[in-house]
Amino acid sequence: MFKKVFYNLVKRYRHSTVPGWIMLVIDVLMFAVAFTVSQLFAWRFDSHMTWHAVMVNLAICGCVTLFFFYLFKTYRSIIRHMGLNDIFRTLVACVFMALTCGVLNFINNRIKVFPTTSNIIPSYRIVIMLYSLLALLMLLARFTILYIYNQYFKRRRREINLVIYGAGAAGVIANNALKQDIHFEYKVVAFIDDDASKVNQQLDSVPVMRARDVLNPKFVAAKEISQIIIAIPTIRLMHKQAITNRALDLGLTVKSVPHISLWMNGTFTANQIQDIKIEDLLQREPIKIDNINVVREVLDKTVLVTGAAGSIGSEICRQLLQYKPKKIIMLDQAESPMYDLQFELKNNEPYKKYVDSMVFVIANVKDQPRMEEVFEMYRPNLVYHAAAYKHVPFMEENPYEAIYVNVFGTKNIADLAIKYGAEKFVMISTDKAVNPTNVMGATKRMAEIYIQSRSTDQTHFVTTRFGNVLGSNGSVIPLFKKQLAAGGPLTVTHKDIIRYFMTIPEACNLVLEAGAMGQGGDIFVFDMGKPVKIYDLARRMIQLSGLKNIEIKEIGLRPGEKLYEELLATKENNIPTYHPKILRAEVRKYPLEDIDRAYGELEDIMFTLDDYRIVAKMKEIVPEFISNNSIYCDLDKKTEK
């Protein structure tokens, strides 16, 4: 019967906190016990004490105690979340009580308020004993309540064994935050630290160990570790990636503590611990650019950005705004993404303060009269041309549209840039333009050829060429995330396919820097780092998700796709620039008359809407264009014969 009543009480009050008035009653009872013990001790050494003196002592000490209970609000703490500050406040309150009674004793000894009954004011020895014992009893009561809550009232949570990488301040804060989590019972098995002076020490009774002693299969299995939290907010990117890769190979879930600037209201809670994302493993150390060059290029200039609503175009706009152009014309044909960009820039810091310099234009780059109107109205000094179709399989199926936008759209903008006296034209190209195996890559190479031939003393044309960017529209990573959310499988076109990756801000930084250094006819290629095997990327994403039994399915190369991308053609060389991440490609240059004739012939063929004739002409203009896994492979066989 008693057991049933007890568990009903537990069920009813498990989410309740101990009311403040109950804690005050408990504290008063603790004072009564402490006072009784101290007075019994006093009686033992002073047989002349009277009941009158005891009552006066009780009145004086009781009033002092209640006053400081109220002043320090010791009864207001939520016991289940009690921390060092609550303990410290309790101890400080007891110290002030003792000091006050000691001062009263001192004053009485000097002016003899009670000359005939010297024991009415408690002696120093009794005061110290009373409040030392009171502090001990108050803390004991609180720890007892906390123990009862944890044993009987606290909801049982799933236990998770983990290690924390970093035995510094962030590691301690993360450990304390985990203790307060209401969803899981975290048990920190070990702290890992690279500082040899901390190894073999203890932090909150948890050992600090070396990485090699913890991150090994034997230790992980013995301690049943399932997670690692990287608690070094300023950790170097390469070091973080190495730890993450090592932990993933051991089957651990990897999380990290964000930088202190991202903590909510300056405090840290367990739900702010972030999952490591695949982008974190592909990122590189931040690239430094010479802002002075870009400022000189952009400051107080009118800038046109085509494809402004896309992944690259929108980031170029964000970065350009911070260099204070006179006006930035953001042009795109995609209405909804353009609206989203407009809303973001006009309403969010640090962009909204530049709202007077923003112009948003809905238009298509292949529409020559409309583009003429834009150039006539705004007369841009600089043009960043990011508008293009980029999806390889779609463009393989729609070569007419690919050529009209990527080639003749670029031709429109380039010709107008010359006509209206633009100082510089910077085109965003792709590594798929190198030895192209698909229509999309070939159109980008044709655009490169055209603008490279058009540089004049007045208008300098510059091409920037790089690979895949993380998080861009059509990137493999968003696709994998959708497939993971659906429970798999993750699809890769070939087990050996590799790609280069770069972050969007990094790519746009380099575009601005390369644009500033270009002097006309230049093609700049970016250092893309090491290539990434897409199959390994899929495997890592599954590991990071924590999901089990997700299949990776090989579906075969798509039309026009190749196993690896290149940044330079076989006949191209590269020479370094002053920026270590930017190289200048030495590429074949075509006579202007040949280009005009070939592109004129291509435009005439376009009106036939005959895809085979269109692509055949493309292969004539770009001889290195050899189709792969495509219906246009037959054209290459005819050429060979």
pLDDT of residue 402: 95
pLDDT of residue 187: 86
Within 10 A of 288 (CB to CB), how many other CB atoms are there? 11
Q: For the chain, how are helix, strand and coil distributed in percent, rounded to 5? A: 55, 15, 30
Catalytic member of 390, 432, 617, 619: 432
pLDDT of residue 234: 79
Q: Which two three-digit tokens encode residue 611? A: 């895809």
Matching CATH number, 291-587, of 3.40.50.720, 3.40.50.2000, 3.40.47.10, 3.90.550.10: 3.40.50.720
> Domain map of the chain by residue range?
2-153, 158-276, 291-587
Q: What's the distance, CA 219 to chain centroid? A: 30
How much is the pTM? 0.70
What's the CA gap between 287 and 259, in Å, rounded?
Answer: 19
Our answer to whether residue 637 is catalytic in this structure is no
pLDDT of residue 570: 55
What tens digit of pLDDT does each residue of 455-464 get?
Answer: 777 899 999 8
The yes-or-no answer to whether 158-276 and 291-587 have a common fold is yes
pLDDT of residue 233: 78
Which residues, given as ranges, of the chain have pLDDT below 50? 2-3, 5-7, 9-10, 12-13, 115-118, 261-262, 264-266
What tens digit of pLDDT does each residue of 505-560 get?
Answer: 888 888 888 888 877 778 888 777 778 888 888 888 888 877 778 899 988 888 87
pLDDT of residue 289: 67
**CATH code of domain 158-276:** 3.40.50.720
Instruction: For residue 141, give the DSSP letter.
Output: H
pLDDT of residue 517: 81
Handedness of CA 172, 178, 179, 180 (dihedral sign): positive
Within 10 A of 601 (CB to CB), how many other CB atoms are there? 13
pLDDT of residue 571: 56
Which parts of 455-536 are beta strand (E)?
Answer: 460-466, 468-470, 490-492, 498-499, 501-503, 522-526, 532-533
